[in-house]
Every structure is written in C-alpha cells, then in structure tokens.
A and B are shown apart, each in its own frame.
Chain A
Amino acid sequence: MTRPRAFIVLLFAMAGLAGRPAHAQTGNDSPLLGPLKQNWESIRTNVVRTAEIVPEDKYDFKPTPEVRSFRDLFVHVVEENYFFMGAVTGERTQPPGNLRTKAEIVKALNDSYDYGAKVLAGLNDRTALEMIQRGQRQVPRWSFALGNIVDNMDHYGNLVVYMRLNGIVPPSSQPRQPQR
C-alpha cells in the first residue's frame, strides 16, 4: 500500500516549471493544467498496469460476495472516465458496452484515458475555470476532472487490496521494496 509519491510530486514540479517539459503534452502548460495532466497520466499508469498484471482467470475475483470483482471495477472506471471527462466538455460520449475479455478491458481502459487526455489537452486556463451548470449549482469545468481523478484513486485503493489478497504486488509499490 505504498506509492511513489516523491516521484509523482517531482513530475508535477517539473511540469509546473515553465519551459521544462516533463511530458510532451504538458510542455507549455500552466501550474493548473500541467499538474492536472500529470495526475491523470499517473493514475492511468496504475490502473492500466493493474489490468495488465492481474491474470485473466482472476478477473472474476471479489473479496466478498457483495462487492465488485476486478472486472467490475475496471468496467466501472472506464464508464466513470467517459462520464466525468464528458462532463468537462459537455458532450456525452457513450462508453463501450459488453466488455468481457482481458484484452477488451485493457483496450477500453486505455481508450478511456486517451479520451480524458484529449479533453484535458483541449482546455486552457480560461476554459478550465469557466463556470458551467451542475444540477442546481455552477461549477468550474475542471472540477469534473478533479472528481474523476479522486474517484479513480478510491477504486485503485480497492484494487490494491484485491491484488494483495491474490499475492500480487501492486504497480504503485513495485519500484520499491514492499513497505509496511
């Protein structure tokens, strides 16, 4: 249950420095959008790596009968990525349905993070902070991306325990020795 936080923070810091591109996409980004995109890529790496390293015959594993399986969690993340990032732009892109095999799920996850990256690439500081309607309230566009990342973190936290229960070291703990 550890994660390479120092590394992530370093990436954010690099992205925030003007003229010091840490990533092709974020080279000229502001201190708002640069770190936001890095955060998106970081959670993407952890979730997609998880889908890749969990063996396909474990996809139906669930720690207790009433909760989501690995597969259910991956499909849920795909759906929420389209939902939240669609809300940033106001368009509604339908997530792919009927995902069954590991190959289909890994592809759908990658496609959903690509979609999010495209949405974020289309923002500038002005449009990111533009107020739009959410129910009865006005919220800035970028708040949906924030919500998306936070929700992804929650589900990644579920996946980490699922992996440990199957003797798999989570991708966020792999660069270092397992720590307590």
Chain B
Amino acid sequence: MVSAARREILLGVAMKHARGRFGFLLIAMMALGAQQLSAQSSIAEQLREQWTSSRRQMVRIAEAMPADKYSYQATPEVRSFGEILAHVAGEGLMEMEAVGGASQPGSPERFSSLRGRAEIIRALSEYFDYGTTVLARMTDQQALEMVSLRSSQSPRWIIVMGAIGHNKEHYGNLVTYLRLNGIVPP
C-alpha cells in the first residue's frame, strides 16, 4: 500500500523534474506508478519495513530509560546509555545522508556532545525522520545503485542495511543496560 504522504513526495519529485514537454505525461505516469511501487518493490520495501521497526524499537528503549540513568555505563571503558544513542544517531545520519545523495554528509560525531535525555531523543528523531524521507522515495533500482561513503562505493541498500544493523547491535547493548538497572525492556 502506498500512503498518501509517499504519493505526495513522488509527485513532488516528478514536478520538480517536469520541465520539458513530457512533463505532464511524466507526472501522470508517476501518479499511476506510485500506486504500484510497494507491490513491485522487493528491496526498498524490505528496507522501509526494517527501518520502521528499528525506529520504533530505538525510540521506545530511549524513552524507557530515566533521564538520570543516561550516564550509566556497564563498565568504565564503554559508552554510556546516552552516548550509545548519540553515536547511533550521528553515524546513522551520516550514512543516510550518503544514501540520500547529500553533497557533504555531516560528521558522525555531530551529536556526541549531547548529554540530556530530551536532546538525545530529539537527535534520534532527526536521524530517523531523515532516513524515513530518503527511503520513502527509493526504488529497487536506486537501492542497487552505487554511492560513495567513506571513500568507497557501495550499493545504497547495504548502507541502509548497515545503519539498521548498527542500530540493532547497539539496541542489544541497551537492552542489557536496562536489565542491569532492573528495568524490563519495552
């Protein structure tokens, strides 16, 4: 099923590029094609599903930890609860910017000075909102195209998968942090 929001994004993209004589035809084709996009998409749609589920999971665990426990770390040499979330948001946002075609992806460390629960949850939302927008308009063909990240070329889909896997790996840390604080994970 294609949501109304996604159709609007696709139409927006089509109109932006509709400069020539085929503009109107292109818009009409996109409007019809958008209805079929999800059904035909076996790669991008899987990424969207994994993304949505990862987002829900990360936001829920961030909200489950009380603000005064954000500085908790399991051992002295590892990141605190809040630092893990800020790391996930910063590195993930940089990767999704590469996927989305940003000319200059931001620093993966951009959120690492954040300490407060509210500002860290905001950073997490910024990361997931950006990724949701990038994925909303992605086709399977675009998912398989190579883009530049960290001076090498990778297909877009594996960078998205890397970000989701990275979320999940750190979610696995956070679950254990919660348990160590006597909190049952959401």
- Give A residues with C-beta under 8 Å from B: 1, 3, 5-6, 8-10, 12-13, 16-17, 30-32, 35-36, 39, 43, 63-64, 66-67, 129, 131, 139-140, 142-143, 146-147, 149-151, 153-162, 164-165, 167, 178, 180
A102, B152: Cα distance in complex, Å: 39
A60, B54: Cα distance in complex, Å: 30
Interface of A is mostly: helix
Across the interface, do A146 and B46 meet the contact criterion of CB distance under 8 Å? yes
List B contacts of A164 (CB < 8 A): 74-75, 77-78
List B contacts of A160 (CB < 8 A): 169, 172-173
Checking B42, B155, B169, B176 against A31 with a beta-carbon cut-off of 8 angstroms, the contacting residue is B155
Across the interface, do A9 and B75 meet the contact criterion of CB distance under 8 Å? no
Checking A17, A64, A129, A151 against B153 with a beta-carbon cut-off of 8 angstroms, the contacting residue is A17
Q: Taking each of A156, A157, A167, A180, which has the highest tally of chain B beta carbons within 10 Å of its own beta carbon?
A: A157
Checking A10, A143, A156, A162 against B152 with a beta-carbon cut-off of 8 angstroms, the contacting residue is A10
A165, B77: Cα distance in complex, Å: 10
* 6 closest A-B pairs by CB: A157-B172, A35-B158, A140-B42, A161-B176, A31-B155, A13-B152
